Structure 1
Amino acid sequence: MMELDHYTPAVATLVLGVIGLLILSRLSQRASNIDKPSLVLQLVFWGAGLAVVVALVVALPLEANVRGQILSLIGVVLTAIIALSSTTFVSNAMAGIMLQATRPFKPGDFILVNGVFGRVTRRSLVSTRIQTETRDFTNLPNLLLVTQPVTVQHREGTIIQADVSLGYDVHHSFAERELLKAAESAGLTDPYVLVAELLDHAVVYRAAGFLEDVVNPLTARSQLRQKMLDELHGAGIEIASPNIMAQRQQSGDTQTFPTEVLKKVTRSSADKPEAKIFDSAHAAANVQALREQIGEIRVEIDAQEEKIKAASDETRASETSVLESLERRLKWLESQEEA
């Protein structure tokens, strides 16, 4: 009976540890679709498991030297596991922690990495699961998401675009008119058309527009291409994509030119597509420029305060007026930065 009493702390530790791990496992399963709690609970689960093993060894009725040897063995095994798996588990786990800290995307975002496009469904400690266009799930190692470029679709709207090849006998003004119609018919706002490439057999045009409903990007791309087909075919414009090797009998001095040219459409700077495409970058550049101006004004204010201290009574009033003007300028710039 006395011998059994020696094992009571170890049994109690084991029972409590198992119950705690079961509770953490249950909580982790419930939070599997919630980004931050899932990662935290997984880390806590692994840490708690290690703590239970160490506590069990401490609670066993062993001699001090034997207990020390077992704890040393556990430390050696743990170190060996970490060293051997440093290129896989540990690296992905550290990448998962890094993604949690930086939060470049969250569940529900559309991402593109290494040619794989899908919507993020959950993030775990070592991998991120996305649902692809075929409704299947793809698990991406977190290390891949840290070391490779990841394109995240803008949550407030994105640019939808599609390319088409037209012959050199079609003037770009006609192509632009029909492609703009197609983009508008597809429900895109602020449409624009770019001449993407000049190939040997055709001209590549890129029709694009702003999509506010980012939930259905695949449908939007399909509708844009459908409308491009409708508008171009309706206007009698032949699509030369894929490559069409047409053999047409012509005289030796024949040149391929458009038969008709529309009036050139002029665009203001506000209509340029870059204003919509790079809106965040433009905003960041404007904020940086404001901060630089604020820094310069503050340096001028400090210099002006020194001038006022050294100024005579006759010039102090004018120098103070300059200082007040600089302070008003600084206040306005700071209000612009906050806005």
Structure 2
Amino acid sequence: MMELSEYTPAVATLIIGSFSLLVLSRLSQRAAEIDGRSLILQLVFWGSGLAVIVALIVALPLEADVRGQILSLIGVVLTAIIALSSTTFVSNAMAGIMLQATRPFKPGDFILVNGVFGRVTRRALVSTRIQTETRDFTNLPNLLLVTHPVTVQHREGTIIQADVSLGYDIHHSLAEHELLKAAASAGLTDPYVLVAELLDHAVVYRAAGFLEDVVNPLTARSQLRQKMLDELHAAGIEIASPNIVAQRQQSGDTQTLPEKVLAKVARNPVQKPETKIFDRAHAAANTEALREEIREIKAEIDTQEEQIKTASDEMRASEALVLESLEQRLTWLESQEKELTK
């Protein structure tokens, strides 16, 4: 009877530990679709499993030397496992923790990494699952997402663009006019057209615009290309992409130049496309410039306060006015900074 009672702590530890691990496993499965909670529960599950093993060994009625040898063996095994899998599991797990801390994207975002485009459906400890354009699922190792650039589609709208090659006999203003019509017909706001490249056989134009509905980027790109085809064909403009070989009988002194455009053709809007494309970068630059000015004003205030301390009675009043002006300027700048960082 005494011998069985010696195993009671170990049995109790095993039962409680197994029940705890079962509960954590169920919670982890239920939280599989919740990004942050799933990662935390997986870490807790693995840590709890190790803690249960150690607690079970401590609870067993073993001699101190034997218990120490078993714990040492477990430590050696864990060290060997970590060393052997350091380039795979541990690296991906650390990358998963890093992604959880930085949160560059979340479930529902469209991402492009290493040529793979899709929508994030789940993030786990060692991998991230995305659903691709073919509705299939692709599991990306978290280490790949940390070591490679990840393009995340802007949640508040993105730029949709498409390229087309037109011949040198088409005036650029006419091509721009038709492509602007195509972008507007495709439902894009703030459309613009860029001359992307001058090839040997054609000119590459890039039609683009702002898409507010970021849920359907594939449809938006397809619709933009469809409208480009419709507008260019309706205007009688021949598309020269991919490369075409056309033999036309011409005299030796004939030049391939566009006809003069007599009618006034609508050009790009006054607002430059960079204003919309780099809106966050512009905002960050303005905020940084504002903070730099705030630092300079604070330094001037400190200098002015020192001057007031050493100024004569006649000059103290004027120096106090300068200090008051600087403090008002600082208050206004700080209010502007709060508005920009909302």
- Tell me if both proteins adopt one fold, taking TM over 0.5 as the criterion: yes
RMSD of aligned C-alpha atoms?
1.2
| Corresponding position of 2:190 | 190
Report deviation, 1:264. Answer: 6.3
Alignment pair present for 1:56 and 2:46: no
Alignment pair present for 1:144 and 2:138: no
| 1:308 alignment partner, SS class | helix
| Corresponding position of 1:19 | 19
Alignment pair present for 1:170 and 2:193: no
State the Cα deviation string for residues 174-222 of structure 1 (Å, max 9, x = none). 1110000000000000000000000000000000000000000000000
State the Cα deviation string for residues 49-104 of structure 1 (Å, max 9, x = none). 11111111111111111111111100100011011111110100000000000000
Rounded Cα–Cα distance in structure 1 between residues aligned with 2:165 and 2:59: 76
Rounded Cα–Cα distance in structure 1 between residues aligned with 2:39 and 2:302: 49
| Corresponding position of 2:249 | 249
| Corresponding position of 1:276 | 276
| Corresponding position of 1:127 | 127
State the Cα deviation string for residues 2-58 of structure 1 (Å, max 9, x = none). 322222221221111111111110000000000011000000100111111111111
8 Å contact from structure 2 (residues 113, 149) kept in 1? yes
The one-letter code sitting in structure 2 at the alignment partner of 1:8 is: T
Cα distance, 1:310–1:2 mapped onto 2, change above 3 Å: closer
| 1:161 alignment partner, SS class | strand
| Corresponding position of 1:323 | 323
The one-letter code sitting in structure 2 at the alignment partner of 1:118 is: G
| 1:87 alignment partner, SS class | coil
| Corresponding position of 1:308 | 308
The one-letter code sitting in structure 1 at the alignment partner of 2:55 is: A
Which structure 2 residues correspond to residues 71-90 of structure 1 after superposition, within 5 A? Answer: 71-90=71-90
Rounded Cα–Cα distance in structure 2 between residues aligned with 1:124 and 1:331: 46
State the Cα deviation string for residues 232-255 of structure 1 (Å, max 9, x = none). 001100000111111111111110
TM-score (norm 2): 0.96
The one-letter code sitting in structure 1 at the alignment partner of 2:143 is: L
Q: Which moved more, 1:322-331 or 1:181-190?
A: 322-331
The one-letter code sitting in structure 2 at the alignment partner of 1:273 is: P
8 Å contact from structure 2 (residues 189, 209) kept in 1? yes
The one-letter code sitting in structure 2 at the alignment partner of 1:190 is: D
The one-letter code sitting in structure 2 at the alignment partner of 1:242 is: P
Rounded Cα–Cα distance in structure 1 between residues aligned with 2:293 and 2:75: 56
Rounded Cα–Cα distance in structure 2 between residues aligned with 1:146 and 1:31: 24
Gaps of 5+ in 2: none
Q: Which moved more, 1:183-192 or 1:300-309?
A: 300-309
Report deviation, 1:272. Answer: 0.2
Report deviation, 1:314. Answer: 1.9
The one-letter code sitting in structure 1 at the alignment partner of 2:49 is: G
Q: Which moved more, 1:283-292 or 1:326-335?
A: 326-335
Report deviation, 1:302. Answer: 1.3
| Corresponding position of 1:156 | 156
Cα distance, 1:83–1:105 mapped onto 2, change above 3 Å: same
Report deviation, 1:313. Answer: 1.9
| 2:111 alignment partner, SS class | strand
| 1:160 alignment partner, SS class | strand
Alignment pair present for 1:106 and 2:106: yes
Q: Percent identity?
A: 84
Report deviation, 1:265. Answer: 5.3
The one-letter code sitting in structure 1 at the alignment partner of 2:79 is: T
| Corresponding position of 1:4 | 4
Cα distance, 1:42–1:213 mapped onto 2, change above 3 Å: same
8 Å contact from structure 2 (residues 129, 139) kept in 1? yes
Rounded Cα–Cα distance in structure 1 between residues aligned with 2:121 and 2:208: 28
Rounded Cα–Cα distance in structure 2 between residues aligned with 1:299 and 1:75: 56
Q: Which moved more, 1:256-265 or 1:86-95?
A: 256-265
Rounded Cα–Cα distance in structure 2 between residues aligned with 1:221 and 1:19: 52
Rounded Cα–Cα distance in structure 1 between residues aligned with 2:59 and 2:317: 82
Rounded Cα–Cα distance in structure 2 between residues aligned with 1:189 and 1:257: 32
Report deviation, 1:260. Answer: 2.7
The one-letter code sitting in structure 2 at the alignment partner of 1:294 is: I
Gaps of 5+ in 1: none
Q: Which moved more, 1:148-157 or 1:6-15?
A: 6-15
Rounded Cα–Cα distance in structure 2 between residues aligned with 1:267 and 1:5: 87
| 2:333 alignment partner, SS class | helix
| 2:205 alignment partner, SS class | strand
Report deviation, 1:276. Answer: 0.1
8 Å contact from structure 2 (residues 165, 205) kept in 1? yes
